[in-house]
Structure 1
């Protein structure tokens, strides 16, 4: 018998001063049995940091090869932003960059280990694709605080991220890298 996803609920107060985005969010995040808590937290943070009209978690979940973990669709249903998590391969990023107007990658891993396999590979508009990383100790500590029902405040100012998760505060810089 296959294991089913665990659903986590997040009540999030988002204050992204850098982008002028202030929003209260009620999110249900399904965590696939093969998904780590760190990956799920990175997926949640990417959703918050990319928040705009039309944003959604992909319908296929983390196991989908046709869609990213987070995406933005316009009113016609076309994908306008492809937001991937972790360490996607060059072929996936290349296809994403041809499909969507904007591509971004968020990782909870060492950014060099994400970027090195992509160096020199054929990736459409590679120079325009940001790779955002969070400090590993931040991700480890914050993911340990995730429960089934969560209350969070996500604040961003000058690419500094502060996360209050269930009454425990965490902070880190959002580092931006580029594919070369």
Structure 2
């Protein structure tokens, strides 16, 4: 018997003062049977951090040729490729060759630290790669608010994120492990 995806309907209201982006996104997220609620909520957080009218969820777990999220130009070029977790360096290199900008959002506490320690030197060669780590306690707090029908407000200012859902307030301070060097710096 094949298991079906669990569908989550989420209304995500974003106030991103850092990027001057303010919008409400009605989202439908399908949670693959092998995907945890932690990963689902990190996908939602990734969307909030990079929200754009053209940002889409990829097939993620079900295909190697697509990211978890991506933003494509009208001509089909990939502007932004977002992967979650601890992808293999070969996958990241391939993504860096296909997209203008690649973001990896790692999570998982100690296993994310081990992944970074093992791959940091190789990953630092990529000029269009950003690596962000979300603390394990934060991911657990996000999973605790996961519901199949969810209204979420996301406030972003000075790199700090605040997620509000029902009576829950979750403060998030992502750790940027690596970011592209900007011209002129």
Name the TM-score, length of structure 2 as normaliser. Answer: 0.89
> Where do 5+ consecutive residues of structure 1 fail to align?
none
How many residue pairs get matched? 177
Of residues 22-31 and 130-139 in structure 1, the stretch that sits farther from structure 2 once superposed is 130-139
The change in CA–CA distance for 1:125 and 1:47 in structure 2 (over 3 A counts) is: farther
After the TM superposition, which residues 154-173 of structure 1 pair with which residues of structure 2 at under 5 Å, given as runs? 154-173=154-173
Q: CA deviation at 1:91?
A: 0.3
Residue 92 of structure 2: aligned partner: 93
Give, in angstroms, the shift of residue 144 of structure 1. Answer: 1.3
- Shift in CA distance, 124/175, structure 1 to aligned 2, threshold 3 Å: closer
Aligned to 1:20: 20
What's 1:132 paired with? 132
* 2:108 aligned residue: 109
Aligned pair in 2 of structure 1 residues 114, 18: CA closer, same or farther (>3 Å)? farther
Shift of 1:114: 3.0
Shift >4 Å, 4+ stretches: none
Give how far 1:100 is off. Answer: 0.3
Query: Which consecutive unaligned segments of at least 5 residues does structure 2 have?
Result: 180-185
2:42 counterpart SS class: helix
**For residues 124 and 139 of structure 1, do their structure 2 counterparts lie closer, same or farther at Cα, with a shift above 3 Å needed?**
closer
**Correspondences of 1:1-180 after superposition (within 5 Å):** 1-58=1-58, 60-110=59-109, 111-121=112-122, 125-178=125-178
Contact in 1 for aligned 2:124/2:178 (Cα 8 Å): no
The alpha-carbon deviation at position 145 of structure 1 amounts to: 1.4
Contact 1:128 1:178 in 2 (8 A): no
8 Å Cα contact 2:152/2:164 also seen in 1: yes
Aligned-residue offset at 1:79: 1.5
Cα separation, 2, equivalents of 1:95 and 1:124: 14
| Compared CA separation, residues 100 and 15, structure 1 to 2 (3 A) | same
User: Measured at CA, do residues 75 and 127 of structure 1 come closer, stay the same or move farther in structure 2, by a change above 3 Å?
Assistant: closer
* Partner Cα separation in structure 1 for residue 40 and residue 106 of structure 2: 11
RMSD over aligned Cα atoms: 1.7
- Given the two structures, how large is their TM-score scaled by the length of structure 1? 0.91
The CA distance in 2 between the partners of 1:155 and 1:125, in whole Å, is 33
